[in-house]
Chain A
Amino acid sequence: MASLRVYIVRRVLLAIPMIFILLGIVFFIMRVVGDPVSAILGGHAPQEQIEQIKQQLGLNRPLLIQFFGYLGQLLRGNLGRSLIWGQRPVISEIWDHFPATLELSICAFLVSIIIGIFTGIIAATHLNKFLDHTFRLYGIITYGLFIPWIGIMLQLVFGVYLGLLPIGGRIGTLMEPKTITGLYILDSLLTLNMNSFISALKHLILPSLTLGVYLSGIYTRLTRTHLIEVMGKDFIKAAWARGLPRRTVIYKHGLKNAFIPILTMMGLQFALLLVGAVLTEITFSWPGMGSLLFERITYRDFTTVQGIVVFFALIVVTVSLLVDVIYAYIDPRIRY
């Protein structure tokens, strides 16, 4: 237990320079190509006023001074204010958009795991048969697909042609539940608002399916490969010999032992999930962090982009750490 604690502390300490390096890269690259004031006012307001606003925002200071100033603020837990429009605190921008991304990510993550693992199991248990070939192909194709393309196809089929599901947004017009957590599904359940719940659920299906299908391919292939490997092991043969039911052999003994590499992938996929969320959110007009990031990069809103990068980095570090801790729980052989 003590070694696990040391491991966690070590990982957290390692994450700090990693975040700073990442931040440094984002900080300098974004400033190379111009500033937000010119991006918004370019050509319209008189040049003197543009310079004056840059002065107010501190954009005329030397880059290194701006960088260390920002780091100083960050160490005090202050992500700063947006440089554009209402100059809202970056943390408010993040909290406004994060629940949407979290809701989408959780659902897409579940969809990807459910589809991925089940197709993987079917492929592994039907080795070299039609279903195996089909799901192997599925695993390769889905990973190579472009998210907006999957999204638009689903929108066309289920939204336009069949008219079954809404094609964009988080919830129907005038149906937002009272905000408690910002997660519409949860909030509508907590406030017993069934209309909102159904509307939020319907709006969630296509984006979750888009991102979920895109990410599921890798789980299909991983589950298949590792399950085939595990199913060839002696303890599985022993289980068959003991006459255990097929379901118990596959799920209890086979899948549990094939699960560690899948879990590793879940941790790694989390970063990819956030990347995928950017494209999915834009396709489905989902008002989350991905849309926010995309918009603010366009407007050169340095502080908001930096804030989102730090926030995403913290999430990825935390999730990786959690996955490592769960390893120890699933596989008693792992010691830190």
Chain B
Amino acid sequence: MKVRKKGRWMVVLFALSFVFLSLATGASFALQTKPIVLGTTDKITVLDPAKTYDFYTWEVFQNIGEGLLKYKPGTTELMPGIAKSYEISSDGLEYTFKLREGLKFTDGHPLDAAAVKWSIDRVMKLNLDPSWLVSAFVDRVEVVDTYTVRFILKKPVSFFPALVATTPYVPVSPDSYPADKVGEPTVGHYGPYRIKKWIRDVELVLEANPDYYGSPPKSRLFVVKFYKNAATMKLALETGEIDVAWKSLRPIDIIDLKSKGKQKVLEAPGPYIRYIICRCNKPPFNDVKLRRAVAAAIDRERLCKEAYKGTVEPLYSMVPMGMWSHIDAFKQEYGERNLALAKRLLTEAGYSKDNPFNVELWYTPTHYGDLEADVAAIIKESLEETGMMKVQLKSAEWATYAAKYITAGTMPIFLLGWYPDYIDPDDYTSVFLHSEWSPDMGVFYSNPKMDEFLDKSRTEVDIKVRTELYKKVQKLMAEEAPVIPLFQGILTAATQPNIKGVILDPVMLLKYYLIYRE
């Protein structure tokens, strides 16, 4: 009897051990295979590099695809991508890229010079939203041999390597993408990840690409969940439904997460900037004194603290902080804020307390988030603190603002924001300050000296010379104030404490393949 009892206990013990071991093994297996889940309020607009023109879809392409060149994580420094090296001709018109050998797209098609040429030609032929990033600079692409491709430019462009790192230059497979129209195949790319499953606006599941030449992604499976609003995404992070909350948490959510301290909040300067544009070709802002008075009176500190609760930083140049050649040009010219100077300039322009300068400040409430009205109100108050300005706030819905008022020169001064197309000071300066393009932005600014600096820096290859030229551009910009920088966005991501490898950099495109669970 005793023996039978002992036997029964042995069976129970064995069963318990089995269950425990199974659970332990299962848990450890689950830990290894559990995907990283990232939440975002952005969306994949169209999965085609010839058509997509938004930051989030570009981010996806930097993970499922790879350009000839790519950015070194955490920096704005370029490094080889699918091209292992490149050469520039002496006249700066030809860029010859040597590709890595033996690569193939996820549909099996070889990734060679012919595929690169086919992709670039397709972008130019389709002539869709981002195509100008290719067609404005590239005259044609030639296949030199199986693994060598040459870009012949229309004119020398010093920042061409930065252009090559943008998504329209990411090659796609001719077997998966249609030649003459937009396509959205989930295969036919080449990058660290490949698409396992994509449910539009719901979920994107990525898995490590076994054919990738470089180090495999730190997490084999990576899932992106798409949220319709930031509040829900923040709650999802708090409940552990997601591991990383990426673009874009609201300032109030960031403050709340920081104060609770249960999740990590990571911050880095972003390439996003906000500024005021002055219409320079018509009264009243054809008078440089008035533009300078506005530049001197703006209270950037208050703007960042009150409207954005310290989640953005005051900016004193159109070239963002963290980018080479940046100088605090407006701070050097006006200090952080100089009301006395603003008053003096207004007096010189013929205004006084009894005869104040009446001006309309325009903003759009439908494009830059919920805080835009607050931003406009704070600017109004800071200008009116001179006692010599009366500001009337006016607003227009974004489509009207962008489509009609900017280029028509309807608004004397107005608020605008800028995300870069390519990471180079040129992208933050030429479009606003060069007489050829500034009318497109509603600036209507023309100064031959400025044009000369910008033209030179667009063709000069030596970065030291370019840096000096952009410093001159920024100084002249601060002196004449056709555009007045306000603040620079901070990139913010919040993660669970055990998530590592989230590198925020000025390129603003998160590299999923570096993220892992500890």
**In the bound complex, do residue A34 and residue B199 qualify as a contact, i.e. CB atoms below 8 Å apart?**
no
List A residues 285-310 near B (Cβ within 8 Å): 285-287, 291, 295, 298, 300
Chain B residues with CB under 8 A of A160? 235, 238-239
List A residues 95-124 near B (Cβ within 8 Å): 96-97
Q: How far is the CA of A33 from the CA of B236 in the complex (A)?
A: 36
Q: How far is the CA of A58 from the CA of B47 in the complex (A)?
A: 24
Number of interface residues of A (CB under 8 A): 49
Binds B, one of A126-134, A137-145, A170-178, A217-225: A170-178
Q: How far is the CA of A163 from the CA of B437 in the complex (A)?
A: 54
**In the bound complex, do residue B399 and residue A163 qualify as a contact, i.e. CB atoms below 8 Å apart?**
no
List A residues 54-93 near B (Cβ within 8 Å): 84-87
B259 within 8 A of A: no
B45 within 8 A of A: yes
**In the bound complex, do residue B400 and residue A85 qualify as a contact, i.e. CB atoms below 8 Å apart?**
no
Chain A residues with CB under 8 A of B227? 168-169, 285
**In the bound complex, do residue A46 and residue B403 qualify as a contact, i.e. CB atoms below 8 Å apart?**
no
**In the bound complex, do residue B202 and residue A169 qualify as a contact, i.e. CB atoms below 8 Å apart?**
yes
**In the bound complex, do residue A39 and residue B402 qualify as a contact, i.e. CB atoms below 8 Å apart?**
yes
Smallest CB–CB gap between B247 and chain A, Å? 15
B511 within 8 A of A: no
Smallest CB–CB gap between B419 and chain A, Å? 8
**In the bound complex, do residue A35 and residue B403 qualify as a contact, i.e. CB atoms below 8 Å apart?**
yes
Given A40-B129, A173-B35, check contact A85 B241 (CB 8 Å): no
Number of interface residues of B (CB under 8 A): 58
List A residues 307-323 near B (Cβ within 8 Å): none
A-B CB contacts (within 8 Å), total count: 144
B226 within 8 A of A: yes
Q: How far is the CA of A44 from the CA of B431 in the complex (A)?
A: 9
The B interface is mostly helix, strand or loop, or mixed, namely mixed
A269 within 8 A of B: no
Smallest CB–CB gap between B381 and chain A, Å? 27
Chain A residues with CB under 8 A of B136? 46
**In the bound complex, do residue A42 and residue B402 qualify as a contact, i.e. CB atoms below 8 Å apart?**
yes
A264 within 8 A of B: no
| Nearest residue, chain A, Cβ from B37 | A173
A196 within 8 A of B: no
Chain A residues with CB under 8 A of B437? 46
Q: Which residues of B contact A (CB under 8 A)?
A: 35, 37, 43, 45-48, 51-53, 127-132, 136, 182, 184, 197, 199-203, 205, 223, 225-229, 231-233, 235-236, 238-239, 241, 366, 397-404, 406-407, 416, 418, 421, 431, 437, 440-441
25 A–B contacts from the bound complex (CB under 8 Å): A34-B401, A35-B403, A38-B402, A38-B404, A40-B53, A42-B402, A43-B406, A45-B132, A46-B132, A49-B132, A86-B45, A86-B182, A86-B184, A167-B235, A168-B236, A169-B241, A176-B202, A283-B229, A283-B231, A285-B228, A285-B232, A285-B233, A287-B228, A291-B201, A295-B43
